[in-house]
Copies of this chain bind each other. A is one copy, B any other.
Amino acid sequence: MREIAIIGIGQTSVDEHWDKSLRELAGEAVFAALSDARRQTVDGIFIGNMLSGILNRQESLGALVADWTGLKHIEAFKVEAACSSGAAALRVAMMAVGSGELDSVIALGIEKMTETKGADTTAALAEAADADYETPHGLSFVALNALVMRRYMHEYGWSHTDFAPFSINAHANAVSNPYARLHEAITEKDYQRSRMVADPINLLDASPIGDGAAALLIVPTDQLYPHNGRGRPLITVAGSTASTDTLAIHDRHDPIWLAAAESSAMRAYAQAGVGPEDIDLFELHDAFSIMSALSLEACGFAERGQGPRLGLDGDILPGGRIPICTLGGLKARGHPVGATGIYQIAEVVQQLRGEAGETQVDGARIGMAQNIGGSGSTIITHILKVK
């Protein structure tokens, strides 16, 4: 496949955007990415989105966005893989450019979740789980994660407070990110006192939903002028892989191990010719704090059952061994589900360009992002490099 570069990024803030329609949010991100890349147009747009049909009563997002952005007649579809829809759209964009079918493509992620025409957002999110064997029992998505977290604490002897550093780090890193939903730093005491949602998951273990859109403009590297003509680092996609696992957690051999994360990460490392020790920062999928621990373990940053240790030892901080959620993560940047995977990649690009502001990781050259759909049923890993 042709080598691919990300030459433009665009983001809206994650917020309650009651004054903006789905198409307006999309346009904001698309125009920002075009402008960032100094381009006027692209050949295609692939849109990561999970819930527009249920919450916004709108499907056909491809035509909607192509039409609204004045790019009509281009190829444009929606791609859905639950909360990993964003990275799935990037996968499709990569294959479109990699195959030579299209020469420049935008991967857009969008979700509008806080104004829902009467639909039940919690029930909608549960559609990422198994509609025949999980949700009929009344399990919400947070409840499924609570079962996983409880079992993990039991197996490895961690207390709830041991997970606090994940949330504290995410909140601290979001304070200076203008696109983040939450700008309040939190303390361990805040974490402990937070309202219970589904035992043992409390409000500060859980990422907030939100409205937002983010876009990436990709092209084949061989069609770029040297250094993209901008004097800024050229960012290439060195690894890109997707894996699936059982849809229902109860079908897994080990429900507290993310097999698809392991499989996806190991193949991405091989593609990029790197290992966990080479990764300068990792935008992981901290929808719930337990997921941070499981991701770090499956990707080889911690031994099995030892993920929380990286938080307790400060390894995940911007100056640590493996900085995570450097601009707030899902926990504090916010989790507009189908858009999240694109926000993660845009943040890695910010870091590799040296444009991450107060939480810049010094000398970052290789960054990783991992987007998780369902209870780990679809996991997509990208590794970006400064070329």
Give A residues with C-beta under 8 Å from B: 1-2, 21-23, 50-51, 53-54, 56-64, 66-67, 72-82, 88, 91-92, 94-96, 98-101, 123-124, 126-132, 135, 241-248, 251, 259-260, 263, 373-374, 377-378
Instruction: Pick from A22, A50, A91, A101 the residue with the most CB of B within 10 Å.
Output: A101
Given known contacts A77-B91, A92-B92, A95-B96, A378 and B62 CB-to-CB distance under 8 angstroms: yes
Does B82 contact A60, Cβ atoms closer than 8 Å?
yes
The winner among A21, A75, A128 for most chain B CB atoms within 10 A is A75
Most chain B C-beta atoms within 10 Å of own C-beta, residue among A23, A66, A77, A81? A77
A81 and B95 contact, CB distance less than 8 A: no
User: In the bound complex, do residue A23 and residue B77 qualify as a contact, i.e. CB atoms below 8 Å apart?
Assistant: no
Task: Given contacts A22-B131, A50-B59, A78-B80, list 9 more A-B pairs with CB under 8 A.
Answer: A53-B53, A57-B123, A63-B378, A67-B246, A67-B247, A73-B243, A75-B91, A77-B79, A77-B378
A374 touches B244 (CB 8 A): no
Q: With contacts A96-B95, A99-B95, A100-B1 known, is A77 near B67, CB below 8 A? A: no
The number of times this chain is found in the oligomer is 2
A100, A128, A131: residue with the most chain B Cβ atoms closer than 10 Å: A131
CA distance A373 to B76 in the complex (A): 11
Point out the residue from B78, B242, B247 that lies within 8 Å of A75, measured CB to CB. B242
When the two chains form their complex, are residues A54 and B54 in contact, meaning their CB atoms are under 8 A apart?
yes
Cα of A80 to Cα of B76 in the assembled complex, Å: 10
CA distance A51 to B62 in the complex (A): 15
CB pair B76–A63 under 8 Å, yes or no, is no
Provide the residues of chain B in CB contact with A98, threshold 8 Å.
Answer: 95, 99-101
Q: Which of A53, A54, A57, A377 has the most CB of B within 10 A?
A: A53
A72 in complex: contacting residue of B54, B62, B66, B246, CB < 8 Å: B246
Contact B79 A244 (CB under 8 A): no
Give the residue name and chain of the B residue nearest to A68 (CB): B247
B59 touches A127 (CB 8 A): yes
The contact of A374 among B54, B63, B127, B260, by CB within 8 Å, is B63
Are the C-beta atoms of A81 and B63 separated by less than 8 Å?
yes
- Show 29 residue pairs from A and B whose CB-CB distance is below 8 angstroms, ordered by the A residue: A1-B99, A51-B59, A53-B54, A57-B131, A58-B131, A59-B80, A59-B82, A60-B81, A60-B82, A60-B374, A60-B378, A62-B80, A63-B244, A63-B245, A63-B374, A63-B377, A67-B245, A67-B248, A67-B251, A74-B244, A75-B242, A76-B81, A77-B79, A77-B80, A78-B80, A79-B80, A92-B92, A94-B99, A99-B100
- The chain B residue sitting closest to A1, CB to CB, is B99
When chains A and B are docked, how far (Å) is the Cα of A51 from the Cα of B78? 13
CB distance from A24 to the nearest CB of B (A): 10
- Best-buried of A21, A22, A59, A247 by chain B (most CB within 10 Å): A59
In the bound assembly, the distance between CA atoms of A56 and B54 in angstroms comes to 11
A362 and B2 alpha carbons, distance in the complex (Å): 42
| Assembled-state Cα–Cα distance A62/B76 (Å) | 19
Cα distance A370–B258 in the bound complex, in angstroms: 41
A215 to B38, CA, bound (A): 41
Question: What are the residues of chain B within 8 A of A244 when measuring CB–CB?
Answer: 62-63, 66-67, 72-76
Task: Give the residue of B78, B96, B377 whose beta carbon is less than 8 angstroms from that of A81.
Answer: B78
What separation, in Å, do the CA atoms of A360 and B131 have in the docked complex? 41
- Flag if B53 contacts A81 (CB, 8 Å): no
Measured between beta carbons, the chain B residues less than 8 angstroms from A23 are 132
Chain B residues positioned under 8 Å from A2 (CB to CB): 99
- Nearest CB of B to A19, in Å: 14
Whether the Cβ atoms of B81 and A127 lie closer than 8 Å is no
Instruction: Given A77-B91, A99-B95, A101-B95, verify A72-B127 contact (CB < 8 Å).
Output: no
